[in-house]
Each structure stands twice: as C-alpha cells, then as structure tokens.
C-alpha cells in the first residue's frame, strides 16, 4: 500500500496536466477514481452534461469506484495554470 502523498503525486504526474488544461479552457471535468487513484476523465462544456455523464456511470460502478466533477478554473487560476504549463510561474511577472 502506498502512502497518500505517493498516490497524489502519481495521479498529478499522470493525468494532472491534461485535467488542468481542460479546466483552464473552461470545461467541467468528470474524473473516474478507483479508490484513491484517478484512472480516467471526460470533459464537458456544461455542468448539466457533466452531471448526466456521472449519473449514467454510477449504476455500473464497481466497488471502490467513484466519480468527481471538477469545476472550470476561475480566470486567475486559469492564467496560473497556463503560465505553469509554459514552464514559468507568475513570480517572473513581478521580478525586478
């Protein structure tokens, strides 16, 4: 069994960048989780579509499997995600 920090790090390294970019683009993201591991995701333009997808998946879920809806990032969060994806952080904006 892995420590929770190891699981979170692996999830972030595997799917994090793609999920972050989708949320930065204004999409809702439905993640499929098996226990603590994120094993897949789908993106949707509206909350209603995301909820419909999640609700359709729940009856067929296996024990330990669950689904989460992640909201799109705010404008400030999206700018930070985009900057990090380009390989720089916002602290460079304030460097003298």
- Domain spans in the chain, listed from the N-terminal domain onward: 4-86
d(CA 80, CA 76): 6
How is 31-95 classified by DSSP, letter by letter?
Answer: EEEETTEEEEEEEESSHHHHHHHHHHHGGGPPTTEEEEEEPPPPHHHHHHHHHHHTT--GGGGG-
DSSP 29: E
Q: What is the pTM of this model?
A: 0.73
- pLDDT in tens for each of the 96 residues of the chain? 667 778 777 777 778 788 888 998 999 999 998 888 888 899 999 999 999 999 999 999 989 899 999 999 988 888 887 777 776 555 555 554
């Amino acid at each position: 069994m892995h420590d929770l920090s190891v699981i979170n790090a692996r999830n972030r390294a595997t799917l994090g960048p793609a999920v972050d970019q989708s949320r930065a683009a204004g999409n809702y993201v439905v993640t499929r989780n098996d226990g603590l591991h994120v094993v897949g995701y789908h993106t949707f333009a509206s909350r209603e579509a995301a909820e419909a997808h999640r609700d359709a998946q729940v009856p067929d879920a296996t024990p330990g499997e669950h689904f989460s809806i992640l909201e799109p990032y705010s404008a400030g969060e999206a700018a930070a995600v985009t900057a990090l994806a380009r390989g720089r952080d916002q602290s460079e904006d304030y460097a003298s």
